[in-house]
Structure 1
């Protein structure tokens, strides 16, 4: 098979949660450019509509569905609706996430549960539904979880503590490994991307307080950019990564090499 054919996603349906902006939209651009029909979910319809218009302006076929991963009862109907209206999901990008910054002894339990419900529980339930309704019947699929370097290590004492976020992303890292081992004989690969610091809405507060420190401790000396996840997302979504599974790959400018 020619190399360009290995990366071709023509006819594939890619569901990207939290896809209306930031890293989710960046990955949607990449998968759409290589032929995937992109399905975006997020909580805010107006942001989804803007993302859809943006992608269609790039020649990408896009569909949008307002959805909150923290609303567990809405997950199964969402997958059913996408399956009926767009087609079976071939690629799932679990990108939606939540965070909270507070010293551990002061961390509100409801904030802990909010982070866990979106980053872990919602990810589990959506993945379970997509597997059941789409990937297992097809005998193939690509699952890409967006974890974080925060799931690979703790925070510097000079940074704001984010115990719930670090814990949830650590869970996503091992969720990736465990699911990959289970799904490998069934034609489905499961990998995760562990981004470092990118300028997004979620990182706005952290960067406002500590951007200089972060850049100083990043070997490449910069934050992540608007194209820095595209290549890896395309690789993991395509047949070019057919022999890769269970991997948690940092895209962090070298932070985890320190």
Structure 2
């Protein structure tokens, strides 16, 4: 457990775990802390040294109410964490907004990224596929509990939630102040890495749930087709949190891909 310092002085909380293998930076989704990875991080720690962090505005990191929230900015924050941890080069696995952040890391700092995994993410507007108006309306309804049930259904299949009543760490950091939550939303919505994607040189795997309506599955082939040499894998039946519900498939898939570069 430690704190790095961002370029603007913000304190960034992070943790390092694992048995001393190659470093793997895990980047979580929008408005979520490092706890996004709690259910699956252990599956990587036998092979990697994992680094998880709280974005500014989440968890134990600072929560400035300033215009410093953006996906390129989050990428710079992640570099500050790696620098503080003494890690020059790491594999990177980003899911949802974390995948958007990871795109900037790989495109702008190729020497810092070994292999890259982009999960349930998109290139951003205007070239990405946005969620439907129906889904947007359901998430924006004034009844907070009803909106939470919609989000839960977008993340997991009913069979999974019937077996696992929670708590769920992928539904947003409940400790976030309103200003940080709004700034995260705007940062993710403003993401557009389309022009930068062809410049990514890291070996890349794109993973997506086949039934993802929160970040539509059609974004996966867009990303894979835009990044030179990228591979694409769809997890059958997976929704947005495929990496957790289908961890028995997704974790070995990602682990094996990352280890190709360390064998």
User: One fold, TM greater than 0.5?
Assistant: no
Question: Structure 1 length normalisation: TM-score?
Answer: 0.41
Question: Structure 2 length normalisation: TM-score?
Answer: 0.40
Identify the structure with the greater helix proportion.
1
